[in-house]
Amino acid sequence: MAELDPTRWDGVARSTRTEYLGRECVYVESASDTTVVVQPEPQLDDGFVELDLAVGPGRAFPGVAWRARDLENYESFFVRPHQVGNPDAIQYTPVWNGLAAWQLYHDDGYWAPVEFPLDAWFRIRVDWSGDRAAIDIAGERVLSPTLIGPSGPGGVGILVGGEGLFVSRFASGAEPGPVPPRTHAPEPAPGVLRAWEVSDPFPEASLPRGAVLDPGFVAARTWTPVAAAASGLVDLGRVHGIRDGRDTVLARTTIASDAARTAELELGFSDRAVVYLNGTARFRADDTYRSRDYRFLGSIGWFDALYLPLEAGPNALVVAVSETFGGWGVQARLPQAPAVRELKPRG
């Protein structure tokens, strides 16, 4: 087993050698659900990582990390012991700027209803090459995701994902096993808005209240161009993390219409959103985790729609998006508007 030696691993708070379920092992203590420990060397571009772990039925999120640039940017895979056998028993998600984006990347390709043992040792193995990975649990293939996190060489690590984790083996190397072939870039989904700009982050409480978005507040922002994925998703965590309570950004684009008309806009967001058209608020909603009931996950999707009173010519669309945890994102599409098109954001 690779020693969990604090001189070789980043992020280790404390590890103790012990015996558990008949094996010599290491118990890694954790301060939060998101604790990750990373072995930064050697740096692996393609490779594999294996973890032998034992978990009980309690709420936890243990797993592995790879292509880790640091403790806040890496690819990750973890299991949910409290959801064993359910559709979200396992999870692949990228982590950008400390934000694990499981609310953005869910369902097929990211989740699977997998049975894995509780109160017994089992192995997680991830092989990755290029933009593809093959993930096995106890020798069985459970997921083959297309990778969307940091590319290039990085370290490997362990997601403790709870109060602590028993580990009896950890191994990695530069020679991956077979993985699915590289993928072709998907075609953009019909109607999705692709060309966005994202502002610098600010505290949600600083967002001007009322029906009108203060032009001075918008003008004071700095902006980063961002292209949405082919699905329409803008993963805002790729642009900014949350620091010092700055949990909100403005995402803007421009919609052009050949005449004054009302156009349907389908919207997805995580966690909270306010939509402005030409400076006037048209929509506000909260999809924060458990904000509706204890089972509500806050996953992003095409669950909301609003009707935009477009003017002839360019129309400024601005979405204020606020995040708590689980994925910071926005997506928008015009499902039935052949006379409406997206322009690049205007300054």
Query: What is the set of domains in the chain, with CATH numbers?
Result: 14-173 (2.60.120.560), 195-343 (2.60.120)
Q: For residues 71, 38, 78 and 273, what is the CA-based torsion angle, rounded to 10 degrees? A: 0
User: What's the pTM value of the predicted model, to 2 decimals?
Assistant: 0.93
Q: Which residue in 322, 248, 325 sits closest to 290, CA to CA? A: 325
Q: Where are the alpha helices (DSSP H) in 12-133?
A: none
Q: Where are the alpha helices (DSSP H) in the chain?
A: 215-219
Q: Cα separation of 262 and 243, whole Å?
A: 38
Which residues on adjacent β-strands are paired with residue 283? 275
How many CB atoms lie under 10 A from the CB of residue 4?
A: 20
Question: Would you state the pLDDT for residue 185?
Answer: 79
Question: Any idea what the Cα angle at residue 124 is, between residues 119 and 125, rounded to 5°?
Answer: 165
Decide if 329 contacts 340 (C-beta within 8 A): no
Question: Any idea what the Cα angle at residue 243 is, between residues 239 and 248, rounded to 5°?
Answer: 60
Provide the residue-wise pLDDT of the chain in tens; the chain has 347 residues.
Answer: 566 776 678 887 688 899 999 999 999 988 677 789 999 999 999 999 999 999 999 999 999 999 999 999 999 999 999 999 999 999 999 999 999 999 999 999 999 999 999 999 999 999 999 999 999 999 999 999 999 999 999 999 999 998 899 999 999 999 999 999 877 778 888 899 999 999 999 999 999 888 999 999 999 999 999 999 999 999 999 999 999 999 999 999 999 998 999 999 999 999 999 999 999 999 999 999 888 888 888 899 999 999 999 999 999 999 999 999 999 999 999 987 666 776 665 54
Side-chain-side CA neighbours of 273 within 13 Å: the count stands at: 27
